[in-house]
Structure 1
Amino acid sequence: MGRHDAEDDREKWAQEAYAVLIDVARTYHAVITYKELGEEVQQRSGIHTRSLLHNWIGSVLAKVVREAHRRGDPPLTALVVHKDDGMVGVGYKEVLEIAGQPPLQGVEERERHAAEARFTCYQRFGATLPPDGGRPALAPRYQAAVERRRSRAPEPPPRVCTGCFVQLPATGVCDSCG
């Protein structure tokens, strides 16, 4: 496939990706993995590649970012997450660049921004929201990882008597010092 053909293929994949992502956005809290999106755009377009996903999906999603910005749509690429950790990729920074926003500091901030963007996508594209109107949420796999980290957080050190420095019983009153 020549250079021009590869660019044409990516353009067609980007058009299909846009449609796929709108479909995803119609389900509250839905996300799609990079692999699932890559397979779906190839299937829908009828254009297949043996090239590794990470060699082409980024340029396709960059086109989606620019098109969403041009249309005034929320950043649909926030719906695309890694299978293993449920996080958006480093290419998510393009969403901010295109919108003229400063870069985010750290993974947690990026994931919170993506959660807000996904929620805006669900609202825009007609997902059935819960009666309370819904809320932004981290991708399920990433949320589970956050909860696992929280559950492993160290317990606070036991309280100690300031008089004799012995650990206090549950009553909080030192048995020795009273």
Structure 2
Amino acid sequence: MNREHGGAVGQLDTQETRRRWSEEAYSALVDVARTYHAVITYKELAEEIQARSGIRTKVLLHNWIGPILGRVVREAHRRGDPPLTALVVHSDDGMVGAGYKEVLEIAGQPPLDGVEERERHAAEARLACYRHFGATLPADGGIAALSPRHQAAVERRRGGGRTPPPVCAGCFVELPATGVCDSCG
């Protein structure tokens, strides 16, 4: 069954489509959770949901994915599962979306102060998902980690742990590759 929905949001607004997409999203996220430190982008998840359900849409992703993930948040909470939506990240920055606040609301937790606090919370939630859904973990039980793309951005902001380039002791100018100052010789 390969049905295609057109461009109008109203055409998507069927309970059956949302129910099917939510079920497929839940199943896809459980699959992701079975691989330690795995994440999935919103775009990849949207494609997976549509492929699994056989129901496709031309409606822009940001117009329909939020309500589907909201259903996943509520279902995970109802089942006593960790918040699977922590596994879904933006492709450009590797961070969970602003809708992640629903995870906290459903769990009765207070809102988080900032983006980095939200990302740390999501990293802990991802680790809980890996443990709960049977990912093969290191002997120490694994660690919570930012998504690879977000971790790379954090390291770039910190200077990536690189040592600063050598400078001339006489004029304090960065030394060329030769290691001999062009000014002081």
Same fold (TM over 0.5): yes
Match of residue 27 from structure 2: 19
Match of residue 86 from structure 1: 94
Larger Rg: 1 or 2?
1
Q: Distance in 2 between matches of 1:136 and 1:4?
A: 36
Match of residue 107 from structure 2: 99
Alignment of 1:6-155 (within 5 A): 6-151=14-159
Q: Distance in 2 between matches of 1:4 and 1:49?
A: 8
Count of residue correspondences: 155
Structure 1 residues 54 and 133: CA distance shift in structure 2, 3 A: same
Q: Distance in 1 between matches of 2:119 and 2:37?
A: 14
Give per-residue Cα distances to partners, 1:109-145, cap 9 Å, x unaligned: 0000000000000000000001221100000000000
When normalised by structure 2's length, the TM-score is: 0.80
**By how many angstroms is 1:48 displaced?**
0.5
**By how many angstroms is 1:6 displaced?**
2.5
Q: Unaligned regions of 5+ residues in structure 2, if any?
A: 164-171, 173-185
Q: Distance in 2 between matches of 1:94 and 1:3?
A: 25
Moved more, 86-95 or 124-133: 124-133
Q: Distance in 2 between matches of 1:102 and 1:32?
A: 26
**By how many angstroms is 1:3 displaced?**
6.1
**By how many angstroms is 1:7 displaced?**
2.5
Please identify runs of 4+ aligned residues in structure 1 that moved more than 2 A.
Answer: 1-7
Q: Distance in 2 between matches of 1:38 and 1:84?
A: 16
Identity %: 74
Give 3-state SS (helix, strand or coil) of 1:146's partner.
helix
Give 3-state SS (helix, strand or coil) of 1:151's partner.
coil
